[in-house]
Amino acid sequence: MLQFCKRLASKGLKATLICTNAITRKCIQTQATSINVEHISNGSNDDENLCFTVSQNLAEFIEKQMSSDYPPKFLVYDSFMPWVLDIARRFGIDGAPFFTQPWAVNAIYYHFHQGRFKVPLEEPIISLPSMPPLRINDLPSFINGTDSYPSLLKLVVSQFSNIEESKWLFCNTFDKLEDEVVKWMASKFPVKNVRPTIPSMYLDKKLENDKDYGLSLFKPSTDTCMTWLDSKETGSVVCVSFGSLGALEIEQMEEVAWGLKRSNCNFLWVVKKSEFEKLPKKFCEETIEKGLVVGWSPQTEVLGHKSVWCFMKHCGWNSLEALSLGVPMVAMPIWTDQTTNAKFVEDVWQVGVQVGVNEQGIVTRKEIEVCIKEVMEGEK
């Protein structure tokens, strides 16, 4: 959202980013003076109360702005909050949802919402318009395990509850990446893709000083990471990260650790402080010549470094960073959209390989070693 604001502001529009208190003021450090950042209360963590509180506070905020020097003309909202459109129209302004997952994932949710398939699947493979054949494990986890995530399934499907009412559907993707599915969705709805929303320095370099997001949930070890990467040979490093929400079980953490060691490649592994105790004892000591483990990294800056050749990740939609910077991936999805993204990374876009799991659902150290070597040294 913040990167989208920067692009809009560069076209001469006045952009205001409205956040709830869940994103504290300390998290946002943007240099874009043309963007105004406002906070409204989100109340408690209860979903129903959250919706009511945010609706009420957002309406009050918009009402105050209507009499300002810059009354709002348009409201872009997170696609997971479709009810915001009603608030916008209450004040005579229009709005559009911003989808932050790829159309490949959005289309699956749309077809599920339309009742075009049910789970468990009646056949081992399902065929959807403009999509490759999909197995149950290729679907987003909220669908392939509907009993496990009923509230989250309801949330993702609700994105399409009033989709026919919007004049535009914005999405964080680009046309040629998802050519077929974009054309199919655009034949039904007014799709407008907004390009990868990563800092301009790593794309077209049209926005001056747009070198980072200006938002971070954790403090990155920037100097440590970049100094270490500077000491490594070009194309010799595997970057490993499972995101801000990803958490591995201890057994899986150990397999990743020893898989990295067995690969004999240089590696930069991001392990959040809350996960650090899951690392095998003496792992850091035993891999000190090859590896660096940090609590958080400046990911885009790291991926843009000449020494990084491979990105091992959970395959959330920040995969767009790796795609934009030409870094092939080892995809190790955990949940939500990641399973579908990983399918497309390997089979459709062919920009990486996906790990396999054993009968216990664990990715073994041997599998990790093989996949890393495939990307670092293989013919693909």
Of the pLDDT bands very low, low, confident and very high (cuts 50, 70, 90), residue 15 is very high
pLDDT of residue 215: 76
Helices (H), the chain: 2-10, 47-66, 84-90, 103-113, 141-144, 150-157, 179-188, 222-230, 250-263, 283-286, 299-303, 319-325, 338-343, 365-377
Task: Please give the Cα distance from 4 to 13 (Å, whole number).
Answer: 12
pLDDT of 78 higher than 90: yes
| 2-193 CATH | 3.40.50.2000
pLDDT of 53 higher than 90: no
DSSP state of 346: I
pLDDT of 28 higher than 90: no
pLDDT of residue 20: 84
Q: Residue written as tokens 């509850």?
A: 161
Residue 299 in contact with residue 241, Cβ under 8 Å?
yes
Specify the DSSP element, H or E, that contains 329.
Answer: strand 329-331
pLDDT of 25 higher than 70: no
- In sequence order, the 6+-apart residues with CB closer than 8 A to the CB of 158 are 80, 82
b or e along 140-166 (b: 16 or more beta carbons within 10 Å of the residue's beta carbon)? bbbbbeeeebeebbeebbbbbeebeeb
Average pLDDT over residues 96-122: 92
Of the pLDDT bands very low, low, confident and very high (cuts 50, 70, 90), residue 48 is low
* Residue 312 CB neighbour total at 10 angstroms: 26
Q: Which phi and psi angles does 45 have, rounded to 5°?
A: -85, -5
What percent of the chain has pLDDT above 70?
A: 95
pLDDT of 42 higher than 90: no
- In sequence order, the 6+-apart residues with CB closer than 8 A to the CB of 292 are 224, 225, 228, 267, 268, 269
Q: What is the mean pLDDT of the chain?
A: 91
How would you classify the pairing of strands 329-331 and 352-354?
Answer: parallel
Domains in the chain: boundaries: 2-193, 220-374
Q: Which phi and psi angles does 121 have, rounded to 5°?
A: -65, 140
Which one-letter amino acid corresponds to residue 350? Q
Q: Residue written as tokens 């955990």?
A: 334
Of the pLDDT bands very low, low, confident and very high (cuts 50, 70, 90), residue 268 is very high
pLDDT digits (tens, 9 = 90+) for 85-106: 999 999 999 999 999 999 999 9
Of the pLDDT bands very low, low, confident and very high (cuts 50, 70, 90), residue 364 is very high
Crossing angle for the helix pair 179-188 and 103-113, to the nearest 10 degrees? 40
Is 365 strand, coil or helix? helix
pLDDT digits (tens, 9 = 90+) for 137-183: 999 988 876 567 788 888 999 999 999 999 999 999 999 999 999 99
Reported CATH class of domain 220-374: alpha beta
What percent of the chain has pLDDT above 90?
A: 75
226: exposed, middle or buried (C-beta count within 10 Å: 0-12, 13-18, 19+)? middle
Q: Give me the half-sphere count of Cα atoms (radius 13 Å) on the Cβ side of residue 203.
A: 20
> Is 220-374 in the same CATH topology as 2-193?
yes
* Residue 59 CB neighbour total at 10 angstroms: 17
pLDDT digits (tens, 9 = 90+) for 213-239: 877 778 889 999 999 999 999 999 999
pLDDT of 367 higher than 90: yes
pLDDT digits (tens, 9 = 90+) for 319-347: 889 999 999 999 999 989 999 999 999 99
